[in-house]
Copies of this chain bind each other. A is one copy, B any other.
Amino acid sequence: MYKPPNPLEVPRFAGIRTFWRLPYLKEIPRGVDFAVVGIPFDTGASYRVGARYGPEAIRSQSLILRSHNPVLGISPFEYCSGIDYGDLPVVPGYIEDSYKRIEEGLSTIVGEGVIPIALGGDHSITLAELRAIARRHDPVALVQFDSHTDTDPNYYGHKYNHGTPFIRATEEGLLLVDRSIQVGIRGSTYSKDEIDKTRRLGFEVITAEEIYRLGIKEVARRIQGRVGDAKVFVTFDIDFVDPAYAPGTGTPEVGGPSSREALELVREGLKGLNFVGFDLVEVYPQYDPGFITALLAANIVFEFISLIGLNKMQLMRMVSR
């Protein structure tokens, strides 16, 4: 079993910075359920830049994590096993070349039947991840926590950057769009019908204002209802939360949810779904002077791992019956 060391024996600040101090392995051994993997790519950034240092920052803050999730009632490593796979070898300055390397790298993980949890990197990486996912799983549902739709047709005459991955994914047939949902959209938009256009692509879109009106529980129900039993990829852009909770991001939008609301939505909205992968993107450490953005990111990944653990526990209980 691959799991973190006991923090009551070796202090959490001691050790090489892998995620949660998980074993660092470049070959995926048998029996591993998930692999955390960094994708330090930020050439897709259109405004601020610096997400190449996101994986380092998230790993650094992940040291605080302990073994048990009391809200979900799960000690994930009692049921599953995970590693830190290190970073994929991106090519700074060259997005299409990087896409190939990301797709190859992630395919290695996915091909082993292991659930990848990618640490970005800007949001452009998710397109490459979805290509790797679709290679093995065919199109999948998408749950996107984000303040932006990231479905702009292009930027400065180019197809690929962090504002376009989901229109590209749709065009490439990587998604079950009618099982897919975007949550948290807010802020000024490039055009009057930006959100409508995204809906016309097939996505369900719940804006931030709709979250406040509907309440977290209802939004969680809608995510569950939308995805159903489809295989699902979860992408969490840290700009989903308000800049007070996550200043260290690329295109922060004020007036967003709190971390408390985000955590509840992740726990309740995703519980029991059929996960094929996760990512957590758009952490920019140079804009995160108190480290709270990376800390929140690490905790959201902790929830992802807890959700994987819950599913595994369910499965083991079913099997053992």
Chain A interface (Cβ < 8 Å from any Cβ of B): 7-18, 24, 38, 40, 42-50, 52-53, 56, 59-60, 63-71, 75, 84, 86-95, 97, 152, 154-158, 160-161, 186-192, 194-195, 207-209, 212, 242-245, 247-248, 251-252, 254-256, 258-260, 263, 286-292, 295-296, 299, 302
Complex contacts, A88 vs chain B, CB 8 Å: 14
- Say how far A249's CB is from chain B's closest CB, in angstroms: 10
Taking A13-B40, A16-B84 as contacts, is the C-beta distance between A63 and B47 under 8 angstroms?
Answer: yes
A45: nearest chain-B partner, CB-CB:
B92
Instruction: Return A44 CB to nearest CB of chain B, in Å.
Output: 6
Say whether B259 contacts A244, CB under 8 Å. Answer: yes
Q: Which residues of B contact A189 (CB under 8 A)?
A: 66-68, 70
- Residues of B within 8 Å of A192, CB to CB, are 68, 75
Task: Decide yes or no: A155 and B8 within 8 Å by CB, A42-B49, A88-B14, A290-B243 being known contacts.
Answer: yes
Contacts of A208 in B (CB 8 A): 260
Query: Known contacts being A16-B24, A302-B188, is A254 close to B248, with CB within 8 Å?
Result: no
Interface of A is mostly: loop
Docked-complex contact B254 and A296, CB < 8 angstroms: yes
Residues of B with C-beta under 8 A to A247: 290-292
- Stoichiometry, as copies per complex, reads 6
A38 to chain B, nearest CB (A): 7
Q: Which 5 A-B pairs have the closest CB atoms?
A: A247-B290, A286-B286, A289-B289, A66-B188, A14-B87
Nearest chain B CB to A321's CB is how many angstroms away?
22
Q: Is the CB of A92 within 8 A of B49?
A: yes
Q: Which of B86, B92, B289 contacts A11 (CB 8 A)?
A: B92
Nearest CB in chain B to that of A69: its residue: B188
The distance in angstroms between the C-alpha atoms of A127 and B161, with both chains bound, is 24
Contact across chains for A67 and B160 when beta carbons are under 8 A apart: no
A158 touches B46 (CB 8 A): no
A16-B87, A65-B188 known, 19 other contacts, Cβ within 8 Å? A9-B89, A11-B52, A14-B89, A14-B90, A16-B16, A16-B86, A17-B59, A67-B190, A68-B194, A69-B188, A70-B188, A70-B207, A75-B192, A91-B158, A97-B156, A242-B244, A243-B245, A243-B290, A244-B259
When A288-B290, A290-B288 are in contact, do A259 and B255 touch as well, CB less than 8 Å?
A: yes
